[in-house]
């Protein structure tokens, strides 16, 4: 775990224009000084991410929000007060301090206050905002431990702050709060139900396509192995068929089937609790990759609570690879 001296060192690296991998409650981020366009541009190089893909600015205190954005509608203020620090990102009008490099040229900016003691200590020691996407190569599985970051990015990062395994395990929920009525751009660590309870109204979600509709979900959050997402009752048949046709099949098995023998190369019985499933999800995908699977058959969870974010990530992992 990170010590005080590590946090001071990391803050120093940020001040010098370097990149720091930092733990958050969701996934590890690849951080740079949000106000340093050169440092921000390095994030895109290291990740192999198109420069048009905007980043999230992490700040240490909800009270500093107005330093980073132009206008905070009441609905956004309400969400920030209720969920920060926490796995919620608000998209608002860009303030002057945020360079266009960080927003992919947009006049809006995504901001959040992470709920992790090491991230908050770093933000406090550094004093500014830290832009950080997930600390993985573009399109691949987000890291939930410091070892994942080291394995994937190695020397490309100037300093890795180790804050232990991430508690939430899937990325923050992103809410467009520029208008009067907020809408959900990405389901994540704060559930839709909780966002709606605080907002006092239903929130629109992006169109969720059905399984295997081509072209809708370019691959993201993806392991090396190809991913197929199916309803729980079809998992066994799908896995068996693929295994018999010569694949090394890895299975994310629903808890209801955890005692059933599976004809597959490797399997992980996913936890019954959605919080535990979310926490483990990216680790399970990495594990099946490491065990040599070339095809992962994943059971679709019920899309409520954290199940909505898990299903979203599985579907995107299953998206067509060529259109990234
Ligand atoms: O939990 C998280 O959100 C993690 C941790 C590190 O904070 N970060 C993360 O960052 O997931 P990243 O870069 O992998 O995903 C950020 C998402 C992108 O899909 C991007 O399109 C969206 O945020 N985003 C950023 N700025 C935006 C904006 N101005 N308008 C709409 N979407 C935006
Ligand atoms: Mg990411």
- What is the model's pTM? 0.95
Give the pLDDT confidence score for residue 215 in this predicted structure. 37
CA distance 238 to 253: 12
Coil, helix or strand at residue 171 = coil
pLDDT band at 95 (very low <50, low <70, confident <90, very high): very high
Over residues 254-280, the mean pLDDT reads 93
pLDDT band at 165 (very low <50, low <70, confident <90, very high): very high
For the chain, give every residue range classified as CATH 3.40.50.11030.
226-317
Over residues 283-302, the mean pLDDT reads 96
pLDDT band at 258 (very low <50, low <70, confident <90, very high): confident
Cβ 133 under 6 angstroms from ligand 1: yes
Asked if 169 and 184 count as a contact pair (C-beta separation under 8 A), the reply is no
pLDDT band at 322 (very low <50, low <70, confident <90, very high): low
CA distance 156 to 271: 34
- Is residue 302 over pLDDT 90? yes
Work out the mean pLDDT of the chain and round it to a whole number.
94
Instruction: Give the tokens for residue 149.
Output: 């970051």
Give the pLDDT confidence score for residue 274 in this predicted structure. 97
- Is residue 210 over pLDDT 50? no
Nearest to 36 by CA among 119, 98, 124, 114: 98
Over residues 259-278, the mean pLDDT reads 94
Looking at the chain, the whole-number percentage of residues with pLDDT higher than 90 is 89
CA distance 31 to 160: 10
Cβ 89 under 6 angstroms from ligand 1: yes
Cβ 75 under 6 angstroms from ligand 1: no
Coil, helix or strand at residue 179 = coil
pLDDT band at 36 (very low <50, low <70, confident <90, very high): very high
- Is residue 218 over pLDDT 90? no
Over residues 73-98, the mean pLDDT reads 98
CA distance 79 to 183: 12
Coil, helix or strand at residue 166 = coil
What is the bridge-based pairing of β-strands 266-269 and 249-253?
Answer: parallel
What is the bridge-based pairing of β-strands 29-33 and 130-131?
Answer: antiparallel
Coil, helix or strand at residue 320 = coil
Cβ 173 under 6 angstroms from ligand 1: no
Cβ 171 under 6 angstroms from ligand 1: yes
Write the CATH number of the domain with boundaries 226-317: 3.40.50.11030
Neighbours of ion ligand 2 (CB under 5 A): 134
Looking at the chain, the whole-number percentage of residues with pLDDT higher than 70 is 96
133 vs 323, residue with greater confidence: 133
- Is residue 209 over pLDDT 80? no
**Closest ligand 1 atom to Cα of 55:** 25
CA angle at 257 for the pair 314 and 248, rounded to the nearest 5°: 60
| Phi then psi dihedrals of residue 13, to 5 deg | -60, -40
Cβ 23 under 6 angstroms from ligand 1: no
Over residues 189-217, the mean pLDDT reads 76
User: Tokens 């303030």 label which residue?
Assistant: 95
* Residue identifier of the C-alpha nearest atom 15 of ligand 1: 133
- To the question of domain 4-199 being in CATH 3.90.870.10, the answer is yes
Q: How far is the CA of 65 from the centre of ligand 1 (A)?
A: 17
ipTM: 0.99
Give the pLDDT confidence score for residue 107 in this predicted structure. 98
Asked if 36 and 16 count as a contact pair (C-beta separation under 8 A), the reply is no
Instruction: Give the tokens for residue 272.
Output: 């019954």
pLDDT tens digit sequence for 181-202: 999 999 999 999 999 999 999 9
- Is residue 178 over pLDDT 50? yes
Instruction: Give the tokens for residue 56.
Output: 């999230």
CA distance 21 to 122: 11
Asked if 61 and 40 count as a contact pair (C-beta separation under 8 A), the reply is no
Nearest to 54 by CA among 101, 6, 117, 90: 101
For the chain, give every residue range classified as CATH 3.90.870.10.
4-199
CA distance 4 to 161: 11
Cβ 110 under 6 angstroms from ligand 1: yes
Cβ 144 under 6 angstroms from ligand 1: no
CA distance 313 to 274: 14
Integer angstrom CA distances of residue 9 from 128, 146, 209: 15, 17, 45
Which of 19, 28, 32, 56 gets mutated to test ligand 1 (max ligand atoms within 8 A of its CB)? 56
Contact residues for 298 (Cβ-Cβ < 8 A; gap 6+): 227, 228, 229, 230, 235, 251, 252, 314, 317, 318
- Is residue 41 over pLDDT 80? yes
pLDDT band at 208 (very low <50, low <70, confident <90, very high): low
């Amino acid at each position: 775990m990170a010590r005080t001296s590590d946090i001071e060192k990391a803050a120093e690296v940020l001040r010098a224009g370097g990149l720091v991998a930092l733990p958050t409650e969701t996934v590890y981020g690849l951080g740079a000084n949000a106000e340093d366009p050169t440092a921000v541009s390095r994030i895109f190089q290291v990740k192999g991410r198109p420069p048009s893909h905007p980043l999230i600015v992490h700040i240490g205190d909800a009270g500093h929000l107005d330093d980073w954005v132009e206008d905070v509608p009441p609905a956004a203020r309400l969400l920030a007060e209720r969920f920060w620090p926490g796995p919620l990102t608000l998209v608002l009008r860009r303030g002057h301090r945020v360079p266009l490099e960080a927003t992919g040229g947009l006049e809006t900016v995504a901001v959040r206050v992470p709920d992790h003691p090491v991230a908050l200590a770093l933000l406090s020691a550094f004093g500014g905002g830290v832009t950080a996407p997930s600390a993985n190569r573009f399109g691949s599985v987000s890291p939930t431990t410091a070892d994942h970051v080291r394995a994937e990015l190695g020397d490309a990062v100037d300093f890795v702050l180790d804050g232990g395994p991430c508690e939430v395990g899937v990325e923050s929920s992103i809410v467009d709060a520029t208008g009067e009525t907020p809408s959900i751009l990405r389901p994540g660590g704060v559930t839709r139900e909780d966002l709606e309870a605080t907002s006092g109204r239903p929130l629109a979600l992006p169109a969720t396509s059905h399984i295997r509709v081509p072209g809708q979900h370019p691959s993201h959050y993806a392991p090396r192995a190809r991913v197929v997402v199916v309803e729980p009752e079809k998992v066994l048949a799908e896995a068996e068929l693929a295994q018999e046709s010569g694949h090394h099949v890895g299975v994310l098995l629903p808890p209801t089937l955890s005692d059933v023998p599976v004809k597959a190369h490797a399997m992980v019985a996913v936890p019954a609790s959605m919080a535990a499933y979310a926490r483990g999800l990216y680790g399970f995908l990495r594990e099946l990759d490491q065990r040599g699977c070339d095809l992962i058959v994943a059971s679709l969870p019920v899309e409520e609570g954290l199940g909505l974010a898990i299903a979203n990530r599985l579907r995107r992992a299953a998206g067509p690879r060529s259109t990234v």
